[in-house]
Amino acid sequence: MIYLFIHQSCPGQYVHLIRHLLAEGHRVYFISQRSDQPLPGVHNLYYKPDRTGAGACHPLTVDIDNAIRNAAAVSELCRKLRDEQGVHPDLIVGHGGWGETLFVKDLFPDAPVLTYFEFYYHINGVDVDFDPEFVSVFADADRLRTRNAITLMAAEATDWGHSPTVWQRSLLPPEIRKRVTVVHEGVDTERVCPRADVEFNIPQAELTLSRADEVITYCARNLEPYRGFHIFMRALPEILRRRPKAQVLIVGGDEVSYGVPPPPGTTYREIMLKEVGPQLDARRVHWFRTLPYEDYLRVLQLSSAHVYLTYPFVLSWSCIEALAAGCLVIGSATPPVLEVIEDGVNGLTVDFFSPGQIAERVDEVFASADRRQDLRDAARQTAVEYFDLKTQALPRWQALLDDLLQGQRPELDP
């Protein structure tokens, strides 16, 4: 079979699936804007949207304009793939949020198109109006509606869709939702697993940590409000006061993945250190902008208490990885987290906006070693039972692809 993947940031959510398809002997093509992460064994193709005249459109149509430019560039690349190389994919998989998949069905009418519906915006009750401290760039209802138009067009141009969680699918309009299967990308729980003998060296602090130490962790791609960084930092002085022997490991970059950027020339890390830094024992707070994946896993495996906060938005891979590593996750009681963590069963939940409660629940973790281990074991079991790559995710993916290839209606919740 020939599979064509389309995602502006290769490999996106598809790295495990693509490796599986390659191992099965299939041919895989990948169209993206990024050329810095080519996948071995994949026919990697790159496009650059034409920005001629960009900015001349109405402000409310900027997102649609960008989407159409992406769609046109992908369409041109697909046409060359078809006409010059004779490639006719059997199935096309792509992200529906940036317009890239809009025209591919017209070029390959016989190939089923499977579209990733990651997030459908709402003016109330989700991320946009969640945090009054940081007003979203999409707080304008008109802008939000035109942004969602890209997803609506993508839905009309697809045969089927997929979303990684039930909650993310629930945000879609009903007529789209009934054609979207919930299937997570999966986590390799054989690789991401607890390690009792784990150690983590911090050379600049002349410190080596083990599971015998009290270690509190916070990890995000970037340190930003959408992932509750500001709230965690406000909880940190009280956490350190309550746990005088604890070491804190904070992993995350200074860019902005989602939401409102900080004022020019500064970062959220700098802003929060200015606010609470004088209250912190800097010798016990350790910062890592980026880590090799194996070192990142050591941080999770080392963790005594792992704080994960998020707006009602896309659930981070790191949350599931933390569960798989056997972390005791203290998560915000927001819908994406509540789908995977039940308070007192496989983790603890807190009010996103309550630094005091976060500090209390971190302290609570250390009250009973037996309860702490029970919660860690249950967290690990959740990851294995619902998100394991080999036994859960890949079989569900394969069933979804097979149904589409055979012209059958896929299951919504396989």
The CATH number of whichever domain residue 236 belongs to comes to 3.40.50.2000
Domain-embedded: residue 43:
yes
pLDDT, tens only, 277-327: 999 999 999 999 999 999 999 999 999 999 999 999 999 999 999 999 999
Do 349 and 399 reside in the same domain of the chain? no
Do 205 and 249 reside in the same domain of the chain? yes
Do 68 and 128 reside in the same domain of the chain? yes
pLDDT, tens only, 117-170: 999 999 999 999 999 999 876 668 888 899 999 999 999 999 999 999 999 999
Do 283 and 358 reside in the same domain of the chain? yes
Domain-embedded: residue 259:
yes
Domain-embedded: residue 193:
no
pLDDT score recorded for residue 4: 99
Residue ranges making up the domain that contains 143: 2-186+389-405
Indicate if the pLDDT at residue 414 is higher than 70.
no
Domain-embedded: residue 191:
no
Phi/psi for 105 (5° steps) reads: -65, -30
Do 140 and 265 reside in the same domain of the chain? no
Domain-embedded: residue 414:
no
DSSP 388: B
- The predicted model gives 230-245 an average pLDDT of 98
Do 220 and 335 reside in the same domain of the chain? yes
pTM of the predicted model as reported, rounded to 2 decimal places: 0.95
Q: Give the number of domains in the chain.
A: 2
Do 122 and 46 reside in the same domain of the chain? yes
Burial class (CB in 10 A: 0-12, 13-18, 19+), 145: middle
The token pair that represents 314 in the structure block:
């896309």
Do 164 and 278 reside in the same domain of the chain? no
Do 125 and 245 reside in the same domain of the chain? no
pLDDT, tens only, 197-210: 999 999 999 999 99
Residue written as token pair 């039930």: 166
CA nearest neighbour of 351 among 218, 258, 241, 235: 235
- The predicted model gives 44-59 an average pLDDT of 87
Residue written as token pair 């941080």: 299
